[in-house]
Structure 1
Amino acid sequence: MRGDWFALIAAPLFFWILGVNTFHDAAHFSLHKNWKVNRFVPYLFPILTSPLAWYHQHNIGHHSYTNVSHRDPELAHFTFWKREHKSVKWRPAHEKQRSPWFLLFWWTVAVEIAFATMNDLWMIKDKVYNECVPMKALSRRRLLCHCLGRVIGAGFLFVWPFFFFDTWTRVIIFAVVPYVIVSNLFMVNTQINHLTTDTAHAGDEDWFKHQVVTAQDFGVKSKFCFFLSGGLNLQVTHHLFPTVNHCHLHKLQPIVALLCDKYSVKYKTYSGYFDAIRAHHDHVVRMSYNDDEH
């Protein structure tokens, strides 16, 4: 708030580290034994997303129907200009996603503008999240509180610099740069786990096998990947045990890997962020082509 330049990097970075290591577990009711604590904690991070929308999108839709056509709402984000699954009808606009710059742009605007604002508004308007998950009925008071929370979230991101700084340069930089960093950190740690060539269209009639083949891990032995991702790098184990706090996942992961090997269940891992991001981008490029032509 003083306008120190180092805070442009430090504030969003530590916000992300604190948020991802608490928000995700709390939203899965695995941060604390008291459910009320788990219910409250996600509201401490209004910049990330609305807890209400998150429960619909992530807990109810994505974890129950991972990568299942017209059931997993995370396959249906802004499909009019982005395509990451065959269930999405191809459009000429999807050709643009072949460029790495498209991926960077999408990751930059995704969190607050796309997920936490636009998807939230559409859910309230249509009473369904991404045409997949029916919205829970809300009282007028609850709906008012929800909308007020989204306004406060946007205020934390974009409005406060106008009241603290006397130059447009600082206003614009401090309103944009921290958000860009948080959004990219969110996307790089979430999009590489299910949307690759090996996982996006995989599936199995057995629910547990389905969770394994539709997800992938990265940097399973890396403390850096584990800390920066809040345990999201152990995605396969998380999907098998979504209500287990992520601090236990590194102990469960070797057991899961051994069982998968024993029963010949494909268990995909990447060495780290770089390989996982490259695999995700390769998949996005594939999805940019018309299925009828290729």
Structure 2
Amino acid sequence: AFFDWYYPWAVTGAIWTVMTQVSHVQEDCQRPPSGDDPDDYFRWQIESALDYSVGSELVPKLTASLSLQSMHHVMPSVCGCHFHGLYPEYAEICERYGVRLNTRKDVSAAWRSCIARVFELSSPERTPAWALDEPSAAQGEAGGLASLTEHLPLIVYLATPGVVMLACTPLF
């Protein structure tokens, strides 16, 4: 009975994570924009997204073109069925204007780097300097509550689907 109840939540949660989070929870995507104008909307949209399986015709179809996330951000009114054909020209335009295009070879590489980023963010001592607002004096503490709190983002990330599932499931 538990499996029948849990399985749909686990599968849809995994699909949601792969379809959305893998394209944004990446070190490359969380850097400040590379250009001179920090308010350049399109540069920010492109550089804060990750594209994977760029050369594949099948993966964009399986992911509703969300594997080409930066194009999805920049051209939301263009049907995703056109993204695969437009991508070479799009990449050339980004290169011409010095816009950083974040890519991974395939969904497996994107997923691995996403999980690596979650672990990196859960350990403040491994967080890049550009991501810190202010260096914390407690950053070097080890053990006890400090050890638990340094992993809090990872704990929350992993626990959220279960909490949502319990909160949204009617208990009859």
Partner of 2:103, secondary structure, is strand
| Deviation (angstroms), 1:223 | 2.8
The question of 1:278 aligning with 2:108 is answered no
What is the alpha-carbon distance in structure 2 between the residues aligned to residue 205 and residue 260 of structure 1?
A: 17
Q: Please tell me whether the aligned partners of residues 216 and 236 of structure 1 are also in contact (alpha carbons under 8 angstroms).
A: yes
| Deviation (angstroms), 1:248 | 1.4
Moved over 4 A (4+): none
Which aligned pairs between 1:185-204 and structure 2 lie closer than 5 A?
Answer: 185-203=15-33, 204=38
Per-residue CA distance 1:209-247 (angstroms, 9 max, x = gap): 111111110001123321221110000111000122211
Partner of 1:226: 60
Partner of 1:217: 51
- Percent identity, aligned pairs only, is 28
Partner of 2:29, secondary structure, is coil
Which aligned pairs between 1:28-177 and structure 2 lie closer than 5 A?
Answer: 171-177=1-7
| Deviation (angstroms), 1:178 | 2.4
How many pairs are equivalent? 124
Report the RMSD for the aligned CA atoms in angstroms: 1.7
What is the alpha-carbon distance in structure 2 between the residues aligned to residue 179 and residue 288 of structure 1?
A: 25
What is the alpha-carbon distance in structure 1 between the residues aligned to residue 78 and residue 43 of structure 2?
A: 18
Partner letter of residue 277 of structure 1?
W
What is the alpha-carbon distance in structure 1 between the residues aligned to residue 29 and residue 64 of structure 2?
A: 21
Partner letter of residue 66 of structure 2?
L
Partner of 2:67, secondary structure, is helix
What is the alpha-carbon distance in structure 2 between the residues aligned to residue 283 and residue 231 of structure 1?
A: 23
Partner of 1:161: none
Q: Please tell me whether the aligned partners of residues 215 and 235 of structure 1 are also in contact (alpha carbons under 8 angstroms).
A: yes
Structure 1: unaligned runs, 5 residues or longer: 1-170
Partner letter of residue 216 of structure 1?
L
| Deviation (angstroms), 1:279 | 1.1
Per-residue CA distance 1:100-136 (angstroms, 9 max, x = gap): xxxxxxxxxxxxxxxxxxxxxxxxxxxxxxxxxxxxx
Partner of 1:191, secondary structure, is helix
Partner of 1:221, secondary structure, is coil
TM-score, normalisation: structure 2: 0.66
Structure 2: unaligned runs, 5 residues or longer: 125-131, 141-172
What is the alpha-carbon distance in structure 1 between the residues aligned to residue 110 and residue 85 of structure 2?
A: 22
Q: Please tell me whether the aligned partners of residues 60 and 66 of structure 2 are also in contact (alpha carbons under 8 angstroms).
A: yes
| Deviation (angstroms), 1:256 | 1.4
The question of 1:260 aligning with 2:94 is answered yes
Partner of 2:9: 179
